Structure formats: structure tokens, C-alpha cells
Amino acid sequence: MGTLLSYSLYSSILLSMLYLTYKWVMAGENQHRYNRVALWLIYIVALTALPAAEWARGFMADAPASVPMAEIDFEDIMVSVADQGELVAPAQPLWITVLLWVYLAGVAATLFQTVWVGLRLWRIISRGEEAGRYGGKIVVVTDDGGIAPFSWCRYVVMSRKDWEEDGSMILVHELQHLRLRHWIDLLMAQAVGVFQWYNPAAWLMREELKAVHEYQADGAVLESGVGARQYQMLLIKKAVGHRFTSLANSLNHSKLKKRITMMYNTDTAPSRRLRGLALLPALAVAVGVANLDVVASVIDDTALASFVADNGDDATVAESAGVQPVDEIMLPPSEKSADATDVEPVRVAGGDVAASVSSDGTSCEPAAKPVEESAGGGDVTEVPPHEVSETAEVVAAPGDGVSASASSAEGKVAERRESSRHTYGSQPYTVVESKPQFPGGEKALLQYIASHIRYPQDAYMDGIEGRVVVSFVVKKDGSIGDVKSIRKINPSLDAEAERVIKTLPTFTPGMLNGEAVDVWYTLPVSFKIKKDEIKKDDSIKEEKTTAMTRSLEKVTLYQGNESRTVPYERIKNINPNVIDSISVTKNDGRPEVNVYLKSV
């Protein structure tokens, strides 16, 4: 439901800006058909802009490239803070929970009112008497004299008195509503009203549609030969009576003065239709407003909202995310203990890095050497303590899309044997009362990185793998600063990891003694190339292996003016959609394969 609220907020911003522009430059023009189309376009753009943007991003991500898309597999995402030795799990703010409940209550109430009006309409129609049929449209008369004439779907409804006194004029008016299917417009407007019940522009848009409907129906009556004065007297006489503003077109629409004035207006010059182009810059402004940091932060927060604010402990939060909690501590690289004798190792998720931390909470001199074998096997390497907060793995596999998941491996959960304290100094803090929080929590951080990171093309072609550890500071205003790779493996991989970190939106800053402070944050990112697992019977595989395949060791890849030679096994990992052509030649009895890739 949080996604629905987030989508509603985004579309309401666009709808409001576009409506205001329409009202300013187009509402008073005598170009009713054109205005009706413009109002429909406003609805379509406002409601589809966000899905279209997401689709476009996905399409661009899925567009042919030199390498497959990356599959992101995140492990053990946890960042600890010193709060009596316990990990503080991020909780959903109470205001988001309240906002979600209020929004859904409004949707339910508005939907109930809409259904109630629809039932009343059907009750009146079903109890009325059929007085005739005109081109498939049914005229229904009722003995209730307090009902103003209206039309809906394929029915024209009026009181028996109106049918006998002014039936011909009323019928021309209402049949025009049905011919132009105005009731479909009202269904759309009411649906948006339910969806955006809090947005005045949603209801004002419905009124603009109804006004255009009445202008069109009034014009049809005058074109039929009815005198303008006679028809205007009818409208004045029918200015009272029950109206069904939600779903039906009523003859006694409230904007009577504007309707009479419009009858005397001349048609708008075709050149004035260019005023509708003002909607384009209005759309650009609306999108810009929706993407302002403060606005986007609220929209992102509501997207992950749930019905209940989760204030559970870290074990509950971690279990719901599918991960095991990791109790760790972050220290800046510049803080070193003068005495490195009283230290205890900290095991880190993955079993391949560790930080030595003295019992007083300060870091000792980092040494790039193996210490002891981890529970999961392999060497454990000492690194600066601020390198051990989170772990992300980027895996490239042929034809895969982008996905994010959280998992933990048995025997590789970090342990802290003794609570640590921070030695205060001029550097950004490493232990705080309240840690920095990504908008929406760790799950949202996973989703953000998964949607933005890509396995670099040249690194993939060269088969380069490894872990990049990126360190950065979450500043007191929530912005990201001091982004740098503190463990580098390849310029392209280093740059990609840093690029994604630099695009992170504003965090909720860390707090210490009631004040926002700068806090160190790190994110190790592992880049791996996933090998295909093809399980076949060895004997069958041997029979199908030709001498040419056995002798083929390398292939040459060409893209634009660049070329590179890669092992033959790598050709299986290339997305077929990016291949332009393949040529095979013989050189001294050995095959040479050239693969030409499409330009990006």
C-alpha cells in the first residue's frame, strides 16, 4: 500500500501543475472538443509519467550492450552503532504509518460515497418507466418531481412533468451527452478523485470536464434550432433539483452563468490552440518539483511504508529481511592506537576481512596480512576497521537481468567479543547514538544500488573480478561526501562503485547527544563473473566436441574502433542480442573467430 500512496503523491504533483496551467491558458476558450482532449491528456500524462519513466529506465538498462546485465546479490547488510552494545534496527517513522492509514481511510470513504451514488442512480433508473428509445438510448421517466434531468450510460432520466413540458429540448441536450460518451469521462475523473481524494486539483479537473460537457450539449441544442433565450429560460427554471455530480451529467449544472456567456462567444481562432503548448513546460516544472530532494525523499519513504511501524529488535528486522544480524563497528582510517598489544579480532561476514580493535575502542595499526583462518575457510585479512560495515556482491551472468536479494552463509557471521567505545577526535564519528539511515532503510538501499549499478564492460571482457571497498561520510545534513575507494582492484570497477555511492540520495544523519554529526560509512562491493553450469553426460559431450572446437582457444571481439582478444569460453557469456556478426577464418590450419558487437 505504500507504493500506492507514493504513486498517488507523485501523480498528484503533476496533475496539479498541469491543471493550473490549463485553467490559466485554456479554460475560457470556445474550443470545447480541443479542451476535452487536453483534459484527457493531462490525466494520461499525470497517471503514466512515473510508470513510463520506470519503463524507460528498464528499457535503457535492457538495451543491447557489450556485456550482460549485472545480477546483484547482497550479503549481510548491517551497520552497527554503539547503543549499550546492541544494534539499533531502523524503524518506520510514526508519521509515515499515520499518513498511510489516513490516506487509505480517505480512499475507502470516497470509494464508499462513489458506490453509494452509483446505487442511487441505478435505483432511480430501475424504478422508472421507459418512455421511448432513440438510437439505442432509453428515456426513463420517474414520478419524483425533485430530480433534475440527467443522463448516464445509455439512459436519459427526467421527471414525468419535465417530459411532458420540455421533453424535446431536454432530450436533445441529454442525448448529446450520451453520443459523446461523457459518462466515461466522469468515471475516469471520479476514479482519480478516489485515488487522489486529498488533491483539490483532482476534483477541480472533474468540474472542468463537466463544464466542457455542458458547453458541448448546449451547443447541440442551439444548433437544433431552439432559440437561445427559450433554452436559457429552461436552464434557469431547472437550476434547482437533485444532482448526481459524481457520475452523471445533470441539466442543472451549477455553472449556469458561464454556460449562458459561452453561448454568445465566438469560436476560438485555431491559432490560439497553440496556447496548449504551455502544458509542456508545466510538465517539466512538475517533474522537477517531484524530483526535488525534499519531495523525492518523502515519496521514497512512503513507497516502503507498511501498516504497522516496526519497532522490533534487530533480530526481528534481520529475519524479516532474510539476513542474519552482524554486530560490527566502523572506525575511521586515521584513528590508530598507540598500543596495539591489547587487541581482539573482529570476524566479518564473508570470512575474508577482519579489523583489529583494541579493548578501549580505538583501532590499531592496520596490517595487510593474514591473521587466522575463518570459520568459513580461507584467509582472514586485517583491514582498516571502517571497511567492515556492509557487503554487496555484483555477479555478472549471461542474459541475466538486475535483481537484489539478501542472504547469509552459515559460519560466516561476524562476532564482536567485547563492546567498543569511540575515542573522540576531529574526524567524523564512528560510534553514535543513532546511525545514519537511508530513506526507507537497508532494504531501500539494496533496491537503489541494484537499480543503478552495472558491471563495467571492459572489466567484464577482461574477466576482472574482486572486491572494491568504498568509504564515505554521511554528513550532518545527510549528504554524501569524501567518497573514495580504500581498497582498489581495477579503475573501472573502482569508478563504478564510487559512482553509485555518489548518487545516493540524502540520508537521515547520525545523531550524537541530540545533534546531527558526520559519520563514517563503508560499503564493500564484490564483482564476480558467474560461470555457466552446463550439466551434460561426459561421453555425449565428448562425441559432440569437434576438432575445430578443441583447437579454438581465443576469439577476437570488435566494437567500433576497439578490439580485444578473450578466451573462447567467454563467448558463451555474451548476450546474443548485442552481436552484429561473426566471421570464422582459417589461419595455418587453426580457426580464427571474430565477433563484431553492435555499437552502444
Does residue 300 contact residue 439 with C-beta atoms inside 8 Å?
Answer: yes
Please, what is the average pLDDT of the chain? 72
DSSP-based three-state secondary structure for 502: helix
Assess whether 401 and 441 both reside in one domain.
Answer: yes
CA gap 321, 76 in Å, rounded: 10
277 pLDDT above the threshold of 70: yes
In a domain, 448, yes or no: yes
Band of pLDDT at residue 399, cut at 50, 70 and 90: very low
Q: What is the pLDDT of residue 84?
A: 34
Does residue 209 contact residue 189 with C-beta atoms inside 8 Å?
Answer: yes
Assess whether 482 and 556 both reside in one domain.
Answer: no
Higher-confidence residue: 575 or 383? 575
Does residue 319 contact residue 89 with C-beta atoms inside 8 Å?
Answer: no
Assess whether 496 and 554 both reside in one domain.
Answer: no
Does residue 524 contact residue 487 with C-beta atoms inside 8 Å?
Answer: yes
CA gap 492, 478 in Å, rounded: 27
Assess whether 76 and 107 both reside in one domain.
Answer: no
Share of the chain above pLDDT 90, in %: 22
Assess whether 203 and 233 both reside in one domain.
Answer: yes
Listing DSSP states for 415-475 in one string gives --SS-------SSPBSS-SB--B-TT-HHHHHHHHHHH----HHHHHTT--EEEEEEEEE-
Higher-confidence residue: 145 or 73? 145
Pick the last residue of a domain from 477, 501, 529: 529
Q: What is the pLDDT of residue 393?
A: 55
In a domain, 439, yes or no: yes
Assess whether 116 and 228 both reside in one domain.
Answer: yes
CA gap 78, 324 in Å, rounded: 9
The DSSP output letter for 87 is -
Taking Cα atoms as reference points, which of 30, 25, 23, 31 lies closest to residue 264?
30
Band of pLDDT at residue 38, cut at 50, 70 and 90: very high
Assess whether 430 and 500 both reside in one domain.
Answer: yes
582 pLDDT above the threshold of 70: yes
Pick the last residue of a domain from 511, 529, 547: 529
Higher-confidence residue: 395 or 327? 395
DSSP-based three-state secondary structure for 586: strand
In a domain, 593, yes or no: yes
Residue type, 552: L
**Beta-carbon neighbour count of residue 409 at 10 Å?**
13
Does residue 71 contact residue 453 with C-beta atoms inside 8 Å?
Answer: no
Band of pLDDT at residue 253, cut at 50, 70 and 90: low
> Could you give phi then psi for residue 553, rounded to 5 degrees?
-110, -35
Full strand arrangement of the beta sheet holding 150-152: 129-134, 137-142, 155-159, 150-152, 249-250
Q: If you average pLDDT over residues 156-165, what whole number do you get? A: 89
Which residues, at least 6 apart from 319, have a Cβ–Cβ distance to it below 8 Å?
none
Higher-confidence residue: 444 or 571? 444
Q: What is the pLDDT of residue 187?
A: 94
Assess whether 114 and 259 both reside in one domain.
Answer: yes
In a domain, 280, yes or no: no
Q: What is the pLDDT of residue 106?
A: 95
Pick the last residue of a domain from 507, 529, 551: 529
Express each pLDDT in 202-245 by its tens digit: 999 999 999 999 999 999 999 988 888 888 888 888 776 566 66
Report angle CA 486, 492, 495 to the nearest 5 degrees: 50
Share of the chain above pLDDT 70, in %: 66
Grid cell for residue 575? 548476450
In a domain, 60, yes or no: no
**Beta-carbon neighbour count of residue 195 at 10 Å?**
18
328 pLDDT above the threshold of 90: no
> Could you give phi then psi for residue 52, rounded to 5 degrees?
-65, -40
User: Domain holding 461: CATH number?
Assistant: 3.30.2420.10
DSSP-based three-state secondary structure for 559: strand
In a domain, 165, yes or no: yes
Higher-confidence residue: 46 or 340? 46
Grid cell for residue 298? 518523502
Express each pLDDT in 528-570 by its tens digit: 776 553 344 444 444 444 444 545 667 787 777 777 777 766 6
Assess whether 133 and 80 both reside in one domain.
Answer: no
CA gap 442, 424 in Å, rounded: 27
Does residue 354 contact residue 365 with C-beta atoms inside 8 Å?
Answer: no
CA atoms within 13 A on the CB side of 584: 7
CA gap 65, 83 in Å, rounded: 47
Q: If you average pLDDT over residues 352-362, what whole number do you get? A: 35
Listing DSSP states for 205-250 in one string gives HHHHHHHHHHHHHHHHHHHTT--HHHHHHHHHHTSSSB--TTTSEE
Listing DSSP states for 46-74 in one string gives HHHHHHHHHHHHHHHHHS--SSPPEEEEE
Q: How many separate domains does the chain show?
A: 3
The DSSP output letter for 330 is -
Assess whether 434 and 552 both reside in one domain.
Answer: no
Express each pLDDT in 499-516 by its tens digit: 888 888 889 888 888 888
Whole domain around residue 580: which residue ranges? 538-597
Q: What is the pLDDT of residue 177?
A: 92
The DSSP output letter for 147 is B
Give the rounded distance of the alpha carbon of 142 from its chain centre.
Answer: 50
In a domain, 6, yes or no: no
Q: What length does the chain have?
A: 600
- The residue with cell 469521462 is 185
Express each pLDDT in 455-483 by its tens digit: 887 787 777 887 888 888 998 888 998 89
Assess whether 560 and 519 both reside in one domain.
Answer: no
Q: What is the pLDDT of residue 256?
A: 81
Assess whether 379 and 407 both reside in one domain.
Answer: yes
CA gap 224, 340 in Å, rounded: 99
In a domain, 35, yes or no: no
Which residues, at least 6 apart from 264, have a Cβ–Cβ distance to it below 8 Å?
228
| Core vs surface per residue 5-43: b (16+ CB within 10 A) or e | bbbbbbbbbbbbbbbebbeebbeebbbbebbbebbeebb
Enumerate helices (H) and strands (E) in the chain, giving the number of each.
16, 20
Give the rounded distance of the alpha carbon of 509 from its chain centre.
Answer: 23
